[in-house]
Amino acid sequence: MAKKVGVVGARGIGTTHANCHKDDDLADLVAVCDVVKERADELAEKVGVPAYYSVKEMLAAHPELDIVDVCTGGYENGSWHFEPTMQALEAGKHVLCEKPISNQVTEARQMVDFAEERGLYLGCNLNHYFTEPADQAMERMNKGEVGEVLYCLHKMGFAGGELSYGGTPNGHRDKNFPYFHVKAFLAHPFSIMRYFCGDITHVQAFLSQPSFRKKAGDVMLSVNSIHVRFASGAVGYLLSQRGDATFGLGGWWSVEIGGTQGTVVIENCVEKLSYYPGPQPDGAANPELLAMGETDGPIVTNTGITDFGATFPTRIHAFLEDVTNEVPRSKLRSSGRDALATLEYTFAAIESFEAGGTLVRPRALPPIHGEPTLEG
């Protein structure tokens, strides 16, 4: 039976999520909620469900809710995630929360602990790897076609320069928050790196102007140059930016994962996957020829998809599937714990930056104990 869903936060992203639930057979959207009445009313009208003006009110009116989908924002795009998430968990509801899981790592730890304590699913909308190229890359990795991962090279850029941003201050979201960009956006690239390469144990960061443009004409390039080491021993590099530079190779986001058996490269997030076979006995990728640029090209899959918006229904469907199928909590895709990892790395990067680029070991994640009745 379709899961009954209530959406909290009725602006841009709340509207996107509400529409995804409307269109998904696994969901039955029953309510929307926003503390700003007009916003709640407007979305409610669009999607044809009742509006509520507080989470408490929505929960009281709909005890049958299975899932609360938290699409609030706040300072650094995350300060309004904690309260509605905790309220929903307290009421025994599963929660899907937008990214970053919170703008405070201490709150994120509490959210993950509380969901675990209550035996509920807490998912996060780390939607960037719910794509065809990411699925194909992972399939190749699982088949051993990349082999032992040696390195991960990731670039992610968001528009936000003088022309696209127009110098309009972003109001409360960035005011007096020097780490706006880092806290609001690194969840995505860190989630990609961890998805493919596992936990990160060492972080070293150089951040140029980690915040946001304050007024028209400001030089606003938030460029984050972050060097990491994975628990596996592989190394990685992330260049994340929001601002005036235009990325060249690989488009607005690309990742290259190189291993002993081959290399996968994703370009433009949803668009393209290239596979470069490693040295083979038949000479398919003879390293000598490779070095001279004389091998055949990689195996390329173009999905024909360029719209990043395609990640929302796919990711939301995955959450609905996991909840419907009652997967062990430790197997939940893009879980709260996964999101906490990205925030631990973000806070490690900030700590490293503040200390002039020193090496920081992010705090270890809470252990997974598993569920004896479900785990095979």
Ligand X SMILES: NC(=O)c1ccc[n+]([C@@H]2O[C@H](COP(=O)([O-])OP(=O)(O)OC[C@H]3O[C@@H](n4cnc5c(N)ncnc54)[C@H](O)[C@@H]3O)[C@@H](O)[C@H]2O)c1
10 scored as a contact of ligand X (CB under 6 A): yes
> Applying CB under 6 A, which part among 75-83, 134-142, 217-225, 332-340 lies near ligand X?
75-83
190 scored as a contact of ligand X (CB under 6 A): no
Q: Token pair of 201, please?
A: 């144990």
> Applying CB under 6 A, which part among 4-12, 154-162, 212-220, 228-236 lies near ligand X?
4-12
Sites for ligand X among residues 37-66 (CB under 6 A): 39, 55
Output the residue with the shortest Cβ distance to ligand X: 73
> Applying CB under 6 A, which part among 27-35, 112-120, 133-141, 221-229 lies near ligand X?
27-35
Is 217 in a helix, a strand, or coil? coil
Return the residue of 102, 125, 222, 254 that touches ligand X, per CB under 6 A.
Answer: 125
Q: Toward ligand X, which CB reaches closer, 140 or 337?
A: 337
Give the torsion sign (CA, 288, 291, 293, 295).
Answer: positive
Minimal distance, residue 204 CB to ligand X, in Å: 26
83 scored as a contact of ligand X (CB under 6 A): yes
Residue 72 CA to residue 13 CA, distance in Å, equals 8
Closest CA to 65 of 49, 81, 42: 49
Total residues contacting ligand X (rule CB under 6 A)?
26
36 scored as a contact of ligand X (CB under 6 A): yes
85 scored as a contact of ligand X (CB under 6 A): no
Over the window 207 to 246, marking each residue x when it contacts ligand X by CB under 6 A and - when it does not, the resulting string is: ----------------------------------------
Q: Toward ligand X, which CB reaches closer, 35 or 299?
A: 35
Minimal distance, residue 323 CB to ligand X, in Å: 18
Return the residue of 5, 6, 7, 13 that touches ligand X, per CB under 6 A.
Answer: 13
Ramachandran angles phi, psi of 6, nearest 5°: -120, 135
299-302/272-277 β-pairing = antiparallel
Closest CA to 146 of 17, 29, 41, 261: 261
**Residues 80, 321, 373, CA angle at the centre, nearest 5°?**
100
Return the residue of 5, 6, 7, 14 that touches ligand X, per CB under 6 A.
Answer: 14
Helix 37-47 vs helix 12-23: crossing angle, to nearest 10: 20
> Applying CB under 6 A, which part among 8-16, 43-51, 206-214, 220-228 lies near ligand X?
8-16
Strand order in the sheet with 200-208: 200-208, 222-230, 235-243, 149-159, 253-259, 262-267, 272-277, 299-302
Work out the number of other CB atoms within 10 angstroms of the CB of residue 261.
19
The two most distant CA atoms of the chain are separated, in Å, by 68
Return the residue of 24, 28, 34, 267 that touches ligand X, per CB under 6 A.
Answer: 34
Q: Toward ligand X, which CB reaches closer, 51 or 273?
A: 51
3-8/27-33 β-pairing = parallel
Specify whether the CB–CB gap between 44 and 18 falls below 8 A.
Answer: no
> Applying CB under 6 A, which part among 73-81, 157-165, 239-247, 282-290 lies near ligand X?
73-81
Q: Toward ligand X, which CB reaches closer, 33 or 200?
A: 33
Residues 6+ away with beta carbon under 8 Å from 58 = 6, 8, 31, 33, 52, 65
Residues forming contacts to ligand X in the complex (CB under 6 A) are: 8-14, 33-36, 39, 55, 71-73, 77-78, 80, 83-84, 98-99, 125, 127, 184
